[in-house]
Structure 1
Amino acid sequence: MIIYRDDVRLPLEQARDLYRASTLGERRPIDDDARFAAMLAHANLTITAWDGDLPVGISRCVTDFAWTTYLADLAVRVSHQRQGIGKELMRRTQAAAPQAKLLLLAAPAAERYYPHVGFSHFPQAWMLRENESIP
Protein backbone atom coordinates (compact mmCIF):
# COMPACT_ATOMS: atom_id res chain seq x y z
CA MET A 1 0.00 0.00 0.00
CA ILE A 2 1.39 3.41 -0.99
CA ILE A 3 1.22 6.17 1.63
CA TYR A 4 1.40 9.87 0.66
CA ARG A 5 2.91 12.49 2.96
CA ASP A 6 3.26 16.26 2.84
CA ASP A 7 5.14 16.53 6.13
CA VAL A 8 8.45 14.87 5.19
CA ARG A 9 11.62 16.43 3.79
CA LEU A 10 13.77 13.69 2.34
CA PRO A 11 17.37 13.61 3.56
CA LEU A 12 19.86 14.29 0.78
CA GLU A 13 20.97 10.68 0.25
CA GLN A 14 17.44 9.32 0.28
CA ALA A 15 16.36 11.96 -2.25
CA ARG A 16 19.40 11.27 -4.43
CA ASP A 17 18.57 7.56 -4.45
CA LEU A 18 14.94 8.28 -5.43
CA TYR A 19 15.94 10.65 -8.23
CA ARG A 20 18.43 8.10 -9.61
CA ALA A 21 15.88 5.28 -9.39
CA SER A 22 13.34 7.38 -11.30
CA THR A 23 15.83 8.51 -14.00
CA LEU A 24 15.13 12.17 -13.10
CA GLY A 25 18.62 12.20 -11.60
CA GLU A 26 19.98 12.24 -15.16
CA ARG A 27 18.54 15.75 -15.57
CA ARG A 28 19.13 17.23 -12.12
CA PRO A 29 22.35 18.23 -10.31
CA ILE A 30 22.00 15.45 -7.75
CA ASP A 31 25.77 15.02 -7.30
CA ASP A 32 26.25 18.68 -6.41
CA ASP A 33 25.40 18.40 -2.71
CA ALA A 34 24.97 22.11 -2.04
CA ARG A 35 22.79 22.74 -5.07
CA PHE A 36 20.65 19.62 -4.66
CA ALA A 37 20.18 20.30 -0.94
CA ALA A 38 19.10 23.86 -1.75
CA MET A 39 16.59 22.56 -4.32
CA LEU A 40 15.03 20.32 -1.71
CA ALA A 41 15.13 22.89 1.09
CA HIS A 42 13.63 25.79 -0.86
CA ALA A 43 10.67 23.94 -2.35
CA ASN A 44 7.66 25.10 -0.37
CA LEU A 45 5.37 22.22 -1.33
CA THR A 46 6.73 18.69 -1.32
CA ILE A 47 4.61 15.57 -1.40
CA THR A 48 6.19 12.14 -1.14
CA ALA A 49 4.93 8.63 -1.83
CA TRP A 50 6.09 5.73 0.35
CA ASP A 51 6.08 1.96 0.00
CA GLY A 52 6.77 1.06 3.62
CA ASP A 53 10.02 2.81 4.55
CA LEU A 54 11.04 3.31 0.91
CA PRO A 55 10.32 6.67 -0.74
CA VAL A 56 8.99 5.79 -4.20
CA GLY A 57 7.83 9.17 -5.49
CA ILE A 58 8.10 12.91 -5.03
CA SER A 59 6.36 16.05 -6.22
CA ARG A 60 8.63 19.04 -5.51
CA CYS A 61 7.06 22.45 -6.08
CA VAL A 62 7.34 26.18 -5.62
CA THR A 63 3.96 27.84 -5.11
CA ASP A 64 2.26 30.99 -3.87
CA PHE A 65 -0.82 28.84 -3.08
CA ALA A 66 -3.06 31.34 -4.89
CA TRP A 67 -2.08 31.88 -8.52
CA THR A 68 0.65 29.48 -9.64
CA THR A 69 2.20 26.21 -8.54
CA TYR A 70 5.35 25.28 -10.45
CA LEU A 71 5.84 21.52 -10.39
CA ALA A 72 9.62 21.48 -10.57
CA ASP A 73 10.09 17.73 -10.14
CA LEU A 74 7.82 14.74 -10.46
CA ALA A 75 9.71 11.53 -9.91
CA VAL A 76 8.58 7.94 -9.38
CA ARG A 77 10.93 4.99 -9.08
CA VAL A 78 10.97 2.97 -12.30
CA SER A 79 10.05 -0.09 -10.19
CA HIS A 80 6.83 1.66 -9.10
CA GLN A 81 5.80 3.41 -12.31
CA ARG A 82 2.50 2.68 -14.08
CA GLN A 83 0.70 2.25 -10.76
CA GLY A 84 -0.89 5.71 -10.63
CA ILE A 85 1.63 7.12 -8.13
CA GLY A 86 2.68 10.06 -10.31
CA LYS A 87 -0.93 10.91 -11.04
CA GLU A 88 -1.81 10.79 -7.33
CA LEU A 89 1.17 12.99 -6.48
CA MET A 90 -0.12 15.54 -9.00
CA ARG A 91 -3.67 15.30 -7.61
CA ARG A 92 -2.41 15.99 -4.11
CA THR A 93 -0.21 18.81 -5.36
CA GLN A 94 -3.20 20.43 -7.03
CA ALA A 95 -5.36 19.89 -3.92
CA ALA A 96 -2.78 21.68 -1.73
CA ALA A 97 -3.31 24.88 -3.77
CA PRO A 98 -6.65 24.43 -5.55
CA GLN A 99 -6.93 28.04 -6.81
CA ALA A 100 -3.45 27.96 -8.36
CA LYS A 101 -2.77 26.80 -11.89
CA LEU A 102 -0.33 23.90 -12.02
CA LEU A 103 2.48 24.30 -14.52
CA LEU A 104 5.64 22.39 -15.39
CA LEU A 105 8.41 21.98 -17.90
CA ALA A 106 8.31 18.44 -19.30
CA ALA A 107 11.39 16.44 -20.12
CA PRO A 108 11.33 15.32 -23.76
CA ALA A 109 10.77 11.71 -22.70
CA ALA A 110 7.69 12.73 -20.67
CA GLU A 111 6.01 15.11 -23.12
CA ARG A 112 3.45 12.51 -24.19
CA TYR A 113 2.53 11.66 -20.58
CA TYR A 114 1.19 15.02 -19.45
CA PRO A 115 -1.63 15.45 -22.00
CA HIS A 116 -2.80 11.98 -20.93
CA VAL A 117 -3.36 13.29 -17.38
CA GLY A 118 -5.08 16.53 -18.36
CA PHE A 119 -2.29 19.05 -19.02
CA SER A 120 -2.44 21.37 -22.04
CA HIS A 121 0.59 22.55 -24.00
CA PHE A 122 1.26 26.30 -24.02
CA PRO A 123 4.08 27.18 -26.42
CA GLN A 124 4.28 30.82 -25.30
CA ALA A 125 6.48 29.93 -22.32
CA TRP A 126 10.02 31.30 -22.31
CA MET A 127 13.07 30.16 -20.39
CA LEU A 128 16.50 31.59 -19.73
CA ARG A 129 18.70 28.51 -19.68
CA GLU A 130 21.31 27.67 -17.10
CA ASN A 131 24.59 29.55 -17.60
CA GLU A 132 22.91 32.18 -19.78
CA SER A 133 22.40 35.74 -18.68
CA ILE A 134 20.32 38.71 -19.68
CA PRO A 135 22.55 41.10 -21.68
Structure 2
Amino acid sequence: MSLKYRINSPVTVGQFLHLLHESELANRRPVNDLSCMQGMLKHSNLIVSAWDNEELVGIARSMTDFHYACYLSDLAVSKAYQGHLIGYNLQVLTQQQLGENCKLILLAAPGLDDYYASIGYQKHDNCWVLPRAESLSQRGYSPSVKQLR
Protein backbone atom coordinates (compact mmCIF):
# COMPACT_ATOMS: atom_id res chain seq x y z
CA MET A 1 0.00 0.00 0.00
CA SER A 2 1.52 3.29 -1.19
CA LEU A 3 -0.84 5.78 0.45
CA LYS A 4 -0.70 9.52 -0.23
CA TYR A 5 -2.98 12.25 1.01
CA ARG A 6 -3.89 15.24 -1.14
CA ILE A 7 -5.56 18.57 -0.41
CA ASN A 8 -8.01 19.85 -3.05
CA SER A 9 -6.66 17.59 -5.79
CA PRO A 10 -9.12 16.91 -8.59
CA VAL A 11 -11.50 14.00 -8.02
CA THR A 12 -13.65 12.83 -10.92
CA VAL A 13 -17.29 11.94 -10.44
CA GLY A 14 -16.43 8.39 -11.49
CA GLN A 15 -13.75 8.10 -8.82
CA PHE A 16 -16.09 9.58 -6.21
CA LEU A 17 -18.94 7.24 -7.15
CA HIS A 18 -16.63 4.22 -7.10
CA LEU A 19 -15.42 5.13 -3.61
CA LEU A 20 -18.95 5.69 -2.32
CA HIS A 21 -19.87 2.20 -3.54
CA GLU A 22 -16.68 0.70 -2.09
CA SER A 23 -17.44 2.27 1.29
CA GLU A 24 -20.88 2.04 2.81
CA LEU A 25 -21.87 5.60 1.95
CA ALA A 26 -23.53 4.98 -1.44
CA ASN A 27 -26.82 3.92 0.15
CA ARG A 28 -27.07 7.36 1.83
CA ARG A 29 -26.11 9.53 -1.15
CA PRO A 30 -27.90 10.33 -4.46
CA VAL A 31 -25.51 8.17 -6.50
CA ASN A 32 -28.00 7.82 -9.37
CA ASP A 33 -28.23 11.60 -9.83
CA LEU A 34 -25.09 12.40 -11.81
CA SER A 35 -25.81 16.14 -11.89
CA CYS A 36 -26.13 16.22 -8.11
CA MET A 37 -22.92 14.23 -7.65
CA GLN A 38 -21.04 16.60 -9.99
CA GLY A 39 -22.38 19.57 -8.05
CA MET A 40 -21.36 18.03 -4.74
CA LEU A 41 -17.75 17.88 -5.93
CA LYS A 42 -17.74 21.17 -7.81
CA HIS A 43 -19.10 23.25 -4.93
CA SER A 44 -17.09 21.75 -2.10
CA ASN A 45 -14.34 24.11 -1.06
CA LEU A 46 -12.23 21.64 0.90
CA ILE A 47 -11.55 18.09 -0.26
CA VAL A 48 -8.95 15.95 1.46
CA SER A 49 -8.38 12.65 -0.33
CA ALA A 50 -6.41 9.46 0.22
CA TRP A 51 -4.88 7.65 -2.75
CA ASP A 52 -3.23 4.27 -3.24
CA ASN A 53 -1.22 5.07 -6.35
CA GLU A 54 -3.97 6.51 -8.60
CA GLU A 55 -6.92 4.84 -6.85
CA LEU A 56 -9.08 7.05 -4.63
CA VAL A 57 -9.48 5.09 -1.38
CA GLY A 58 -10.71 7.79 1.00
CA ILE A 59 -12.28 11.24 0.99
CA ALA A 60 -13.29 13.98 3.39
CA ARG A 61 -15.50 16.42 1.44
CA SER A 62 -16.34 19.67 3.22
CA MET A 63 -17.85 23.12 2.91
CA THR A 64 -16.29 25.77 5.12
CA ASP A 65 -15.61 29.44 5.74
CA PHE A 66 -12.22 28.38 7.24
CA HIS A 67 -12.81 30.57 10.31
CA TYR A 68 -15.94 29.56 12.21
CA ALA A 69 -17.45 26.33 10.89
CA CYS A 70 -16.59 23.46 8.59
CA TYR A 71 -19.29 20.98 7.62
CA LEU A 72 -17.67 17.65 6.79
CA SER A 73 -20.39 16.32 4.50
CA ASP A 74 -18.79 13.09 3.30
CA LEU A 75 -16.22 10.94 5.07
CA ALA A 76 -15.72 7.71 3.16
CA VAL A 77 -13.03 5.03 3.11
CA SER A 78 -13.07 1.98 0.85
CA LYS A 79 -13.94 -1.18 2.84
CA ALA A 80 -10.65 -2.77 1.76
CA TYR A 81 -8.75 0.11 3.43
CA GLN A 82 -10.80 0.53 6.60
CA GLY A 83 -8.99 -0.13 9.87
CA HIS A 84 -5.80 1.66 8.78
CA LEU A 85 -6.61 5.10 10.32
CA ILE A 86 -7.33 6.60 6.90
CA GLY A 87 -10.63 8.15 8.01
CA TYR A 88 -8.97 9.54 11.11
CA ASN A 89 -6.08 10.97 9.07
CA LEU A 90 -8.54 12.57 6.63
CA GLN A 91 -10.18 14.33 9.58
CA VAL A 92 -6.82 15.45 11.01
CA LEU A 93 -5.76 16.86 7.64
CA THR A 94 -9.13 18.56 7.20
CA GLN A 95 -8.81 20.19 10.60
CA GLN A 96 -5.25 21.32 9.81
CA GLN A 97 -6.58 23.33 6.84
CA LEU A 98 -8.91 25.31 9.10
CA GLY A 99 -8.34 28.36 11.26
CA GLU A 100 -7.63 27.81 14.93
CA ASN A 101 -11.20 28.71 15.96
CA CYS A 102 -12.98 26.76 13.21
CA LYS A 103 -15.10 23.88 14.46
CA LEU A 104 -15.62 20.65 12.55
CA ILE A 105 -19.27 19.56 12.19
CA LEU A 106 -20.62 16.30 10.77
CA LEU A 107 -23.65 14.08 10.81
CA ALA A 108 -22.54 10.62 11.87
CA ALA A 109 -23.49 7.54 9.91
CA PRO A 110 -25.65 5.12 11.91
CA GLY A 111 -23.70 3.15 14.49
CA LEU A 112 -20.69 5.47 14.64
CA ASP A 113 -21.57 7.60 17.66
CA ASP A 114 -19.06 5.77 19.88
CA TYR A 115 -16.27 6.23 17.32
CA TYR A 116 -16.76 9.99 17.03
CA ALA A 117 -17.05 10.36 20.80
CA SER A 118 -13.83 8.39 21.27
CA ILE A 119 -11.82 10.81 19.12
CA GLY A 120 -13.15 13.95 20.77
CA TYR A 121 -16.34 15.01 18.98
CA GLN A 122 -19.16 16.25 21.19
CA LYS A 123 -22.67 15.07 20.43
CA HIS A 124 -25.33 17.75 20.00
CA ASP A 125 -29.03 17.04 20.17
CA ASN A 126 -30.03 20.34 18.58
CA CYS A 127 -29.23 19.53 14.97
CA TRP A 128 -32.11 19.91 12.56
CA VAL A 129 -32.31 18.78 8.94
CA LEU A 130 -34.80 20.22 6.46
CA PRO A 131 -35.31 17.77 3.58
CA ARG A 132 -35.30 19.41 0.15
CA ALA A 133 -38.82 18.13 -0.50
CA GLU A 134 -40.05 20.21 2.45
CA SER A 135 -40.72 23.71 1.13
CA LEU A 136 -40.70 26.48 3.72
CA SER A 137 -42.30 28.89 1.30
CA GLN A 138 -45.38 26.65 1.05
CA ARG A 139 -46.06 26.80 4.79
CA GLY A 140 -47.50 30.31 4.68
CA TYR A 141 -45.83 31.56 7.86
CA SER A 142 -44.49 34.74 6.25
CA PRO A 143 -45.42 37.05 3.40
CA SER A 144 -44.54 35.88 -0.07
CA VAL A 145 -40.80 36.05 -0.69
CA LYS A 146 -39.65 36.61 -4.25
CA GLN A 147 -36.53 34.87 -5.39
CA LEU A 148 -33.67 37.23 -6.09
CA ARG A 149 -31.54 36.81 -9.18
> TM-score per shorter chain, which class?
over 0.9
The number of equivalent residue pairs is: 135
Bigger-Rg structure (1/2) = 2
Taking structure 2 as the reference length, the TM-score comes to: 0.86
SS at match of 2:111: helix
Query: By percentage of residues, which structure has more helix?
Result: 1
* Cα deviation, residue 53, structure 1: 1.3
* Cα deviation, residue 60, structure 1: 0.2
Is the contact between residue 9 and residue 40 of structure 1 (CA under 8 Å) also seen in structure 2?
Answer: no
Unaligned segments of structure 1, at least 5 residues: none
Unaligned segments of structure 2, at least 5 residues: 140-149
Which residue does 1:117 correspond to in 2? 119
Q: Which amino acid aligns with 1:5?
A: R
Task: Determine the C-alpha separation between the residues in 2 that align with 1:67 and 1:32.
Answer: 31
Which residue does 2:135 correspond to in 1? 133
Task: Determine the C-alpha separation between the residues in 2 that align with 1:109 and 1:10.
Answer: 28
- Residues 14-49 of structure 1: CA deviation (Å, up to 9, x unaligned): 110011001111100112100010001100000100
Task: Determine the C-alpha separation between the residues in 2 that align with 1:87 and 1:60.
Answer: 14
* Cα deviation, residue 126, structure 1: 1.5
Which residue does 1:6 correspond to in 2? 7
Is the contact between residue 45 and residue 63 of structure 2 (CA under 8 Å) also seen in structure 1?
Answer: yes
Which residue does 2:34 correspond to in 1? 33
Structure 1 stretches of at least 4 aligned residues deviating more than 3 Å after TM superposition = none
Task: Determine the C-alpha separation between the residues in 2 that align with 1:24 and 1:109.
Answer: 13
Which residue does 2:70 correspond to in 1? 69
Which residue does 1:85 correspond to in 2? 86
Superposed CA RMSD in Å reads 1.1
